[in-house]
Amino acid sequence: MQEEWRARVLADPGLVLDDSELMRALVLTSERAMGGNVVDLRSMAMERLESRLARLEETHRAVIAAAYENLSSTNQIHRALLRLLDAERFEDFVMDLGGSVAEILGVDAIRLVLESAEPGGGLGKLDAILRVRKPGYAEHYMRAGRPAPARPIVLRQGVPPSSGPYGEVAADLRSEALMRLDLGRGRLPGMLAMGSEDPHRFKPGQGTDLLAFFTGTFERVLRRWLS
């Protein structure tokens, strides 16, 4: 077996060179053979290179994972928007938003808030998804008591207040994404709220590019229904 192994290594040295544990064992054996009063700079350089290679491989894996997650999220956004575009009636549009679209996006609650100076009457089954609030409600809720104007998209953790748009399910939610809606000239703004039971689903610091794309497309579709 020894001769066979020797012949295989001579024929293909990569068997040894490509095995980091085997190379490390050979280097340690070489160091012990030189004695304790000799400093092997090649060994030190190899350790540094191995450390850099490990960091590069970890970075590579992280980049691949992030790219895959971003592609998956992009596909979710596209599927959700296509579902909304398929609606033939406004009622279908609103109910799909709180049903199949919420399922596609992986959130536990979606609410559409429209501001109106007139008191909102009964909306029937749309009451489960559509909320009519007084002017200024969206800005006030998105600011959460802060003096500075709210950003167009707000991500935050915590249990939404009872005054929020979710109703009874608010107690089960632990994070939310809030998107201000520009409904065109002469119309009051609106807000799209997404709530999740996962406290890490939405949190400050996350990228909002895909949500911005979703919001921009959603605004355009909603304007057509309101025209």
Q: Say what the pLDDT of residue 95 is.
A: 94
pLDDT of residue 166: 93
Determine the pLDDT at residue 40. 63
User: What distance in Å separates the CA atoms of residue 72 and residue 92, rounded to the nearest whole number?
Assistant: 26
pTM: 0.70
- Give the model's pLDDT for residue 37: 61
pLDDT at 13: 75
Q: What is the pLDDT of residue 144?
A: 85
Q: What is the pLDDT of residue 169?
A: 92
Q: Which residues contact 101 (CB under 8 A, 6 or more apart)?
A: 80, 83, 84, 110
Give the separation between CA 57 and CA 140, rounded to whole angstroms: 46
Contact 123, 130 (CB under 8 A): yes
Q: Are the beta carbons of 188 and 116 closer than 8 angstroms?
A: yes
pLDDT for residue 23: 74
State the Cα–Cα distance between residues 57 and 82, nearest whole angstrom: 38
pLDDT along the chain (227 residues), means of 10: 79 75 72 61 71 82 75 88 93 93 94 85 82 92 82 92 89 95 90 95 90 94 90
Kindly list the domain boundaries of the chain, sorted by start residue: 77-226
Kindly state the DSSP code that residue 159 receives in the 8-state scheme.
Answer: P
| 196/107 Cα distance (integer angstroms) | 5
pLDDT at 35: 60
CB 223 within 8 A of CB 90: no
- Which numeric CATH code is attached to 77-226? 3.30.450.40
pLDDT at 33: 65
**Token duo for residue 143:** 């600011």
The helix or strand, by DSSP H or E, that contains position 64, with its residue range, turns out to be helix 41-85
